[in-house]
Structure 1
Amino acid sequence: MPRTGERGGPQTRARIREVANRMFLESGYDAVTVAEVAREAGVSSVTVFNHFPRKEDLFLDRQDDAVDLLREAVADRPDDVDALESLRRAVLRMFDERHPLSGVDERSAPFFRTVADSPALIARAREIAAELQAELEDALAGDPAFAGDPALFAALFLAGYAALLVGTAKRMLAGDDHAGVVAAHRERIDALFGALRSGLGT
C-alpha cells in the first residue's frame, strides 16, 4: 500500500520537489539521497522516481517550461513577427517577470551555487541544453514561415542564451550588487539579440 499522501498527483510532485530543493540547498545536491528525500516528503523512493525519472530532475525541473516557451515562441507568433523577434520578446517577458528561467531572480544565487558544486548537475544541465536545442530546431523545421537554417539558428540561440545565464550566475556567486547584475543582464539581452540579428537575419 502507498504511504499517506502518495496518491496526490501534482500535489505529491510539488511536495517532493519542494522538499528536495530545500534539502539540496541546505546540504548540497551530492550529499542528499533520493531515499532521504522520499523519507522527508513522506513517500516511497518509487513514488519519487514515478514523478522524477532522474535524481537531477528533482532540482533541474524547468525543462518542460523551457520547451513550451520555445515552441510557443515559434508557433504562436503573429505573421509579421519572425522567430528571432518572438524569442526576444519571450526572453524579455521572463526578465520582466523575474521568471526562474530568466536567471535574475534574487533567489537564483543559491540555485546557481548548488549546480556549480555538483558535477552531476552540471552534466545534466548540459544535456538539457542539448535537448532544448533539438526541440527548437524541430519547431523551426516544422514552421513553413521560417526561411533560415533551423539547426544553425537553434545552436546559436541556445549557446548565446546559455552564455548569458552563465555570466550572470558568475556575478551573482561573486557577490556583486544585485541591481547592477540585473541591469547588466538586461543590456546583454539586447547585445545577444543584436548579434543574432546580424548573424542570422531571421
Structure 2
Amino acid sequence: MERTDLSQPAPERVDAARNRQRLLATAREMLTELGPDRITMDALAERSGLGKGTVFRRFKTRAGIFQALLDDGEYAFQERVLSGPPPLGPGAPPLERLIAYGKARVRFLIDHHDIARSALDGRQPVPARSQTPLSRMHIRMLLGQIDLGPADRDLLAVQLTAALDGPLLLYISSTELGQGEQDAERRLADGWQDIVRRVCRS
C-alpha cells in the first residue's frame, strides 16, 4: 500500500512550523483543561499569544484545529498499519488483516473520540474527516487480495470505510462511552468482524 499524504507533509518555513507547534500545544492544554467545546479560534489565539490571523491562516475553521490534533495520532496509526507486526501490519492473510484493521480503527476512534467528532465539519457536503484516505485505500488493497468473485471492490471499499469512521463518530456519544467503553468497543469490533466475514464469503 502506498503511503497517503499524511506521511508526506508539505515543507514549512521555520516560523510557520514554530507557530504550528505552539498552537497545537496550546490546543492540547485547552482540551485537557476545558474540554473540546471551549476551544474556539478566538480562545486559541488569545491563549497562545498569537494573532487571530495566524490561527485562521493555519486552521481555516474551528474543525481544522481538531483535524490537526487528530493528524498526530493518525501518523502513528498509519505506521502500525504499514510496518507494524501482523495481523494489523504486513505478513498476515488479507482477511485477517482486514478484520484487524477495523478493530484497531475502532480502538483508535474511541481513544480520540472527542477530537474526531469535533474535527467533523458539518458545513461541508461530505464532512471532513468522516472518512480517512488511509482507510479506503487500505481496505481496497486488502479486498483486491481476496477472492470475491465479480464484486465491485471499489464500492465495497467505500461502504466498509463508511461502516467504520462516520457512524462511530456521529452516533456514539461521549456519555455512552463513559458508561461502557469496553462494551461499546467489543460490540463495534464484533460487528465489524461479522460484516467483513459475510462480505468476503466467496
* TM-score bracket, shorter-length normalisation: 0.5 to 0.7
- Residues 36-85 of structure 1, C-alpha deviations (whole Å, 9 max, x = no match): 32122111224324543433111243146447746863676334421x53
In structure 1, the residue matched to 2:187 is 187
In structure 2, the residue matched to 1:12 is 22
Aligned equivalents of 2:93, 2:161: Cα separation in 1: 20
| Pairwise CA distance, 1:142 | 6.5
1:45-194 correspondence to structure 2 within 5 Å: 45-60=52-67, 61-63=69-71, 65-66=73-74, 69=77, 73=81, 77-82=89-94, 84-93=95-104, 101-103=108-110, 108=113, 111=114, 115=118, 121-123=121-123, 126-130=127-131, 132=132, 134-139=133-138, 146-147=145-146, 149-161=152-164, 162-169=166-173, 172-173=174-175, 178=179, 180-194=180-194
| Pairwise CA distance, 1:11 | 3.5
| SS of 2:130 mapped into structure 1 | helix
Normalised TM-score (structure 1): 0.59
| SS of 1:38 mapped into structure 2 | helix
| SS of 1:78 mapped into structure 2 | coil
Aligned equivalents of 1:27, 1:94: Cα separation in 2: 24
Aligned equivalents of 1:154, 1:38: Cα separation in 2: 40
Aligned equivalents of 2:171, 2:71: Cα separation in 1: 20
- Is residue 88–residue 193 contact of structure 1 (8 Å, CA) maintained in 2? yes
Q: 1:201 to 1:49 in 2, by over 3 A?
A: farther
Q: 1:19 to 1:151 in 2, by over 3 A?
A: same
In structure 1, the residue matched to 2:35 is 25
In structure 1, the residue matched to 2:4 is none
- Is residue 35–residue 45 contact of structure 1 (8 Å, CA) maintained in 2? yes
- Residues 57-115 of structure 1, C-alpha deviations (whole Å, 9 max, x = no match): 11243146447746863676334421x532432454566xxx6x33157xx5xx38x84
Aligned equivalents of 1:127, 1:23: Cα separation in 2: 26
In structure 2, the residue matched to 1:37 is 44
Aligned equivalents of 1:67, 1:156: Cα separation in 2: 23
Determine what percentage of the aligned residue pairs are the same residue.
14
Gaps of 5+ in 1: none
Aligned residue pairs, count = 176
Normalised TM-score (structure 2): 0.59
Aligned equivalents of 2:72, 2:17: Cα separation in 1: 22
Q: 1:15 to 1:50 in 2, by over 3 A?
A: farther
- Is residue 137–residue 154 contact of structure 1 (8 Å, CA) maintained in 2? yes
Aligned equivalents of 1:14, 1:127: Cα separation in 2: 19
Aligned equivalents of 2:48, 2:81: Cα separation in 1: 36
- Is residue 73–residue 90 contact of structure 1 (8 Å, CA) maintained in 2? yes
